[in-house]
Amino acid sequence: MPRTIQKHIALLLVAPALLAASFSASAYQAGDAIIRLGAAAVDPQEDSGNVDIGGVDTGLTVGVDSDVQMGITGTYMLTDHVGIGLLAATPFQHSINLNGVGKLADIKHLPPTVTLQYFPLDSKSGVQPYVGAGINYTAFFDEEFTGANKQAGFSDLELDNSWGLALEAGLDYQLAEHLLLNASVWYADIDTEANFKVGGVKSSVDVDIDPWVYMVGLGYKF
């Protein structure tokens, strides 16, 4: 067999080992930090109580629409298989709709979430699925009724901030020594009470927002 063909065959045989070695050199291990950036979509699965105006049950409920913003997540590896995860994002904006009537208000919120993550595969694997559980804190701000509703007497909208359970699952796929592709999903327990006035009369409605959060992006391992 010609020597050049032997070299090519040898290279083909060695290449997978070299690739595996490159992944091994960048294995997940205690002390590593992974930062991920991408598009994050919040899809509320809301369950609303009835709107109460001055102690009168109106029979009306509210809905919350979806939004997409820039998501930022991070992981700090405590061991080769366990890490601390953080979810952050640019502020999400949602429209609040009075069901059967139309758009009622706009709100913004930030949903920082901390989880304890578990990576079950060998730390040298180039594919790293993970699951996590932790706590979500959602801070609401910039709550504003639309112009038409302000003119109709709606005012002083305020949503209570929320603490709740958060669950997550994700996958890191290594593209290069430090670069990776990530896809992840969270479920967050977000419950709030909206307080406002209608013609000066105190009013309220309880809403379980409970969104699914989906994110796809790129990551870098330090």
Domain ranges for the chain, please list them: 28-221
CA 35 to chain centre: 14
Structure tokens at 47: 């369950």
Structure tokens at 60: 């009306």
Locate tokens 């932790």: which residue? 134
**Cβ within 8 Å of residue 135, ≥6 positions away:** 113, 114, 115, 163, 164, 165, 166
Residue 90: per-residue pLDDT: 94
Q: 28-221 has which CATH code?
A: 2.40.160.20
Tens-place pLDDT, residues 112-142: 999 999 999 998 889 999 999 999 999 999 9
Q: Is the pLDDT of residue 176 over 70?
A: yes
Q: What is the pTM of this model?
A: 0.81
